[in-house]
Every structure is written in structure tokens, then in C-alpha cells.
Amino acid sequence: MADNALHVVDPEIADLIKAEERRQADTVKLIASENYVSKAVLAATGTVLTNKYSEGYPGKRYYEGQQVIDQIETLAIERAKAVFGVNHANVQPYSGSPANLAIYLAFLQPGETVMGMGLPFGGHLTHGWSVSATGKWFNPVRYGVRKDTGRVDMDEVRELALRERPKVIFCGGTAIPRIIDFPAFAEIAKEVGAVLAADIAHIAGLVAGGAHPSPVGYADVISTTTHKTLRGPRGAMLMATSDEHAAAINKAVFPGLQGGPHNHTTAAIAVALREAGTEAFRDYARQVVLNAKALAEELISRGFDLVSGGTDNHLILMDLTPKGVGGKPAAQALDKAGLETNYNTVPFDTRKPFDPSGIRIGTAGVTSRGMGVAEMRQIGAWIDQVVSALAKDEEEAKHVILRVHGEVRELTKHFPAPGL
């Protein structure tokens, strides 16, 4: 045992990491924005690359000693271009939020108008929500979804765009269970002379794997995190087709917003993109959607109210109002049963953001563990049992939670998570 090993230097943190690893192994991860990275991706993140400063871009740095880092970043860029079919990729944004900020810096002046989906309808904070810098320093206008369909109404988006003349339009979001109509957004952006930014943070893995239409050829700029369905490390990328947009983005990321890129993350992104370029990943992406559809069907058959009536991707948004339970107590009870979800506002929610009506679930994580349609039906049944018991009687719910938790542990044993 090396005397500089983590558990020797800092047993407290080492034990907590072990505990988290155990928790992740024993629970069914249904959080739509999470996934399990491979051992290879994990290995790349924990390396000496974290020691190196590399402000600038490959071939044009402000520090010496870039012989290796330049090769790593170039590989990441080339793989991103190949996987997504774009001409330019910037792999340096620290995460999805800074990546989106770079879009503002590249294409907007303070006070100018940005259009995005409102947060309560499934947009992201960085698409101009009021508490975000993007909502405070710019002039945000917001579209939502129709009450009757739970889907974006492109006529409404067009009307709003024609009236407000945004300089940037964001499409994409965090709680959208349906296919995003990139061609329709592109047409509107063109009509009003706006830059179209497709934020595919949630669906990047599905796009890479051919299980969701690609924004390439429609969006001027594509923003994505690398750690959701794409199954890479925590990080982000910005992609573009035109040289002009690419130059603006590169300048905005560095020196506009950031200093040195996180090279260990860049290496892990490269590994994840290599994995995402395989036939196995295409199968994975397809299975993520099949699993979400199976889980949605099971939940619908058990009387759950799904926003938009189902799903086309990895994500399900449920309104628990008909079940007589709030989203928060339901998510907490499910977590106790080993089913990890998050409470979420639903469109036109009548409850407060900290105690909303819905829960959001996703199938990226469970699919990474090799679970299929049969397991989705079982998970749907468990969700129903816990939520229905909670609605009836808290004491009875305790027994149901205990039983389900035991069954969840049994299932997870048979589907070891990658990387753990």
C-alpha cells in the first residue's frame, strides 16, 4: 500500500467516495441528466493531465510544454467533428452553462434580445431565465408548450420571434420528452435573422447514436454537455459548421470567458467520443429510446399522466396531480426505495418550483447498466407501488418502500454499472 494513496492521505474523503460508489451501485438511477461513464473515461479523468496549463488552442498556446496536450485536444476535436458531422468543435467549455454563456458573448451585446424556452416549460436556466445572468444581462423572451399537447407550438414560436426580433434563438432544454424540430426552428431563425443555437445537452448521445435527428445543417451553433446521454466526463462542447461562427465561438470561450482548459476532462471527452463512434453506442442509443417508450407505456397503463402523452427520447415528465401526490414527496419516497429521480415542474404547474407537481425520469443510466424492456416494466410497477402507497397512507408506504428497496437491490446486483 503506497503511503500516498488516497485512503492513507485522506481516509475521510476516500470513505465517502467508496460510500457514493456503493450508493450508485445499489440504486436505480433514473435521473434524466445522469449516466455512468466507462472505466476508460473514468481513468482518463484521474490523470496527471490535471497538472497542465494550456491557455489557447492546439498549435497556438500561451504556455510551453504542449507537445502532448495539443495531440490530446486535437484528437478530441477530430472525434467530435466525426461523431457529429460538423466542421468545427470547441471542447474546452468547463460545463454546459459556461458553453451557453460563450454563445451570448459571441453573438449578443448586453441588453439585446435572446429567445428560449421558459424554465417551467423545460428550458434551461441559461436560455434567459430571470435568476440567471443570461436573464439579467440580456432581454429574454420565452416560448413554452401548448397546454393541450404538451408540445412546442412552432406557429407561436414564429409569432414571438417576428414580434421580438431576437438575435439568438435557443432550442432544446432539460425536460423535453419529444423530438426537437430543428428544421422549423432554423426556418424561423432565418426569417428573423437570428443565430439559432441548438442546446442538445440532454440528447447528445441520442444524436450521436442516430436515435434523434441531428441539428447539423440547421443550427448555426450547437451546444452540448458531454456527461448526459453522451456518457462522457462532466464537460461541454460547442460545435459549428461555418468558419465565421466557429471563430466567434473560439474567441468567446478563450479568452472571452475562460482561462486554461481542463486537460484531463478533454482527454476523457476524447475517450467518450471514441466510444460514441462505435456500433455498440448506436445500439445503446436505440435501446435508451426503446426503454423510455416501454417505461412510458407501463406508467400510462398504471394511470400516470405523462406530459405530451409519452416520449420520443430518453426522458419522461410526469404530472402526479391525478395521483394526489406532490413531485417532491414522491421523489423522496422513490429515493428511499432505491429509485433515484428528481422532482420537476410540469408545464402550467399550479404548485411552487420547490414543491412542484411532477417528477422527471430518464433511461440513459439504466440502459448503460444493460437493462431492457422487461426491467423497465418492473421499474414502472415499482414507481406505481411507491407513489400509490404514498397517496393512500404514509405508514403503509413505509412497508412498500422497504420491500421495493430490497427488490431494487436484487435487480441492481444483476446489472453492474459501468465504471463501478
Which residues form the catalytic set?
53, 55, 199, 225, 228, 234
Whether the CB-CB separation of 361 and 315 falls below 8 Å is answered with yes
Q: Within positions 117 to 156, which residues make up the interface with ligand PLP, using CB under 6 A?
A: 124, 126
- Structure-block grid coordinates of residue 13: 474523503
Q: Within positions 198 to 237, which residues make up the interface with ligand PLP, using CB under 6 A?
A: 199, 201-202, 225
Q: How far is the CB of 201 from ligand PLP (least distance, A)?
A: 3
Task: By CB under 6 A, tell whether 93 contacts ligand PLP.
Answer: no
Q: Which of residues 179 and 411 has its CB atom nearest to ligand PLP in the complex? A: 179
Count each helix (H run) and each strand (E run) in the chain, helices first: 16, 15
Q: How far is the CB of 306 from ligand PLP (least distance, A)?
A: 19
Q: How far is the CB of 6 from ligand PLP (least distance, A)?
A: 25
Q: How far is the CB of 107 from ligand PLP (least distance, A)?
A: 17
Q: Within positions 361 to 390, which residues make up the interface with ligand PLP, using CB under 6 A?
A: none
Pairing of strands 139-143, 113-117: parallel
| Residue 274: closest CA among 126, 77, 64, 99 | 77
Q: Which stretch binds ligand PLP (CB under 6 A): 2-10, 89-97, 132-140, 181-189?
A: 89-97
Q: CB under 8 Å, gap of 24 or more: what pairs does 307-312 form?
A: 307/145, 307/150, 307/175, 307/177, 307/346, 307/347, 307/358, 308/145, 308/149, 308/150, 308/151, 308/177, 308/178, 309/150, 310/177, 311/177, 311/178, 312/177, 312/178, 312/179, 312/212
Q: How far is the CB of 376 from ligand PLP (least distance, A)?
A: 22
Q: Within positions 309 to 348, which residues make up the interface with ligand PLP, using CB under 6 A?
A: none
Q: Which stretch binds ligand PLP (CB under 6 A): 17-25, 194-202, 212-220, 380-388?
A: 194-202
Task: By CB under 6 A, tell whether 96 contacts ligand PLP.
Answer: yes
What pairs with residue 57 in β-bridges?
60
Whether the CB-CB separation of 299 and 306 falls below 8 Å is answered with yes
Tell me which residue has its CB nearest to ligand PLP.
96
Task: By CB under 6 A, tell whether 296 contacts ligand PLP.
Answer: no
**Could you say which DSSP state residue 419 is in?**
T
Q: Which stretch binds ligand PLP (CB under 6 A): 41-49, 170-178, 304-312, 368-376?
A: 170-178
Q: Where are the alpha helices (DSSP H) in 277-416?
A: 279-301, 327-336, 364-368, 373-392, 394-414
Whether the CB-CB separation of 42 and 419 falls below 8 Å is answered with yes
In sequence order, which residues have a C-beta less than 8 Å from that of residue 300 and are 6 or more positions away?
306, 309, 310
Q: Which stretch binds ligand PLP (CB under 6 A): 48-56, 197-205, 299-307, 334-342?
A: 197-205
Residue 270: in which H helix or E strand, if any? helix 263-276
Q: Which of residues 240 and 333 has its CB atom nearest to ligand PLP in the complex? A: 240
Q: Which of residues 101 and 295 has its CB atom nearest to ligand PLP in the complex? A: 101
Cα dihedral 205, 210, 213, 216, rounded to 10, equals 80
Task: By CB under 6 A, tell whether 275 contacts ligand PLP.
Answer: no
Q: How far is the CB of 229 from ligand PLP (least distance, A)?
A: 10
What is the binding site for ligand PLP (CB under 6 A)?
A: 33, 95-97, 100, 124, 126, 172-174, 199, 201-202, 225
